[in-house]
Amino acid sequence: MLTSDQDVLESGESPDMPGSKVARSPRATLATFRHDPRDLWPEHVRKLYDHLLALYGEEDMLPTLAASWIAHQRSVNTQKSYARGFHAFEEFARDHGTHPMAVKFGLADTFRMYLETTPTWVPVKGGRRGEMARTGKPYSDASRKNALSAASSFFVYLDKVSDDGVKNPFDAVQRPYVDPDYSSTPGYTEAEWARFLAVARDEHRVAAYRKRAYALLLVLYTCCLRIDSLLNARVEDLGYDRGHRVLLLEKMKGGGRKKKPIPPVAWDALQEYLDGRTDGWLFCTATGGQLDEPAVWRLLQSLARRAGLPLRGPHGTKVDAITHALSRPDARPDKIQRWADHKDSRTTQRYNQRKELLDDSPGYGLGADVAGTLDHGTT
């Protein structure tokens, strides 16, 4: 049983949770601390907290609990992914007149069915900037699985921080099966990648941003990076180690640190973009702020349209990098696994299988044989 307000912040119990003896306002409790622990929360965690605070008020511990749970996740990518899933769950529970922490199995299972049919939020065509409407396609299998996993993780966290225990209503909720070997993201060939890079360098509609776009794509591709890791890098993280130009990344998936060697072509493009700049975000806005993921998404889709290629997001770049590396005659899967920052070799091999399922399909050989037979029979 939690007995003090400081325990509430540190362990996360809510005064609304069954059996809790805590009744004072969390805002009053935070005011007694020498340093507000929320100051350490990342910006996206603060945004979730502020959003929930506006909905539930200062006396409800949901904002603090949900934000603490998100901040508890080790990787930035997981934090953002779970925050998106929790937004969908919280909105659903509120629309059904139930506090998110009071959801039982019946409503949790209804949330699963709700995700299968409900349109997603998409920007309003021709509307104001930031205006959204529920007119998009229903959630994909992967998005539904993420939302259900996020909600389940939240209740697991509540159980950890409560001495009385909290039953997870999502334990028995079935989640969509997502085939790890399948991706709807279209892949680019090496030739298509060369075209994509050339468009970024020479044809980006905003000439002032061409050097940034070209350098970003080259570093992302040749260093096999996740976009969140690259956008969190600073110019000060560039260095030199045993004959290699390197980028020190501090926020890899899972929270680790790693030095990434930067190939000469990417280094040259990066130096031309930086133009002598020695500090600040490695890839920044015109005002020096941190470039964000939505901006990169817009960039990649704009370039793809100009290059006449399928549209996709930044993770497709890492998929292509691994696939192309695995297709080389001298490919070493163990080295590519380390380069890709995969703990399990099976994760790396999934990219190889995607290529084999297409380029190396036995169907091509059978088709060529039968075509030759048909041609021979008609002459």
Residue 181 domain flag: no
Residue 216 domain flag: yes
Do residues 280 and 142 both lie within one domain? no
pLDDT at 162: 87
Final residue belonging to a domain, choices 124, 140, 161 = 161
Listed residue (199, 178, 179, 180) closest to 188, CA to CA: 199
Do residues 240 and 108 both lie within one domain? no
Do residues 200 and 282 both lie within one domain? yes
Residue stretches of the chain with pLDDT short of 70: 1-35, 180-184, 251-256, 352-361, 377-379
Do residues 151 and 285 both lie within one domain? no
Do residues 135 and 78 both lie within one domain? yes
Do residues 317 and 226 both lie within one domain? yes
Listed residue (273, 267, 280, 296) closest to 208, CA to CA: 273
Residue 329 domain flag: yes
Q: Which residues of 108-130 are buried (b: 16+ CB within 10 A; e: fewer)?
A: bbebbebbeeeebeeeeeeeeee
CATH code of the domain in which 196 resides: 1.10.443.10
Torsion sign across C-alpha atoms 35, 54, 80, 78: positive
Residue 173 domain flag: no
What tokens appear for 360 in the block?
């190396």
Do residues 87 and 200 both lie within one domain? no
Tally the domains of the chain: 2
Do residues 261 and 213 both lie within one domain? yes
Residue 84 domain flag: yes
CB of 314 within 8 A of CB of 293? yes
Final residue belonging to a domain, choices 142, 161, 180 = 161
Q: Measured between alpha carbons, how far is 47 from 91 in angstroms, rounded to an integer?
A: 15
pLDDT at 365: 78
Do residues 81 and 225 both lie within one domain? no
Residue 255 domain flag: yes
DSSP letter, residue 134: E
- For the entire predicted model, the pTM comes to 0.66
Do residues 336 and 201 both lie within one domain? yes
Do residues 196 and 157 both lie within one domain? no
pLDDT at 354: 57
Q: Which residues of 303-322 are buried (b: 16+ CB within 10 A; e: fewer)?
A: bbeebebeebebebbbbbbb
Distance, first Cα to last Cα, the chain:
88
pLDDT at 335: 93
Residue 314 domain flag: yes
Helix (H) or strand (E) holding 301, with range, is helix 293-307
Final residue belonging to a domain, choices 161, 182, 202 = 161
Residue span of the structural domain in which 42 resides: 5-161
Do residues 215 and 353 both lie within one domain? yes
Residue 91 domain flag: yes
pLDDT at 51: 95
Over the stretch 71-95, which tens digit does the pLDDT of each residue have? Answer: 999 888 889 899 999 999 999 999 9
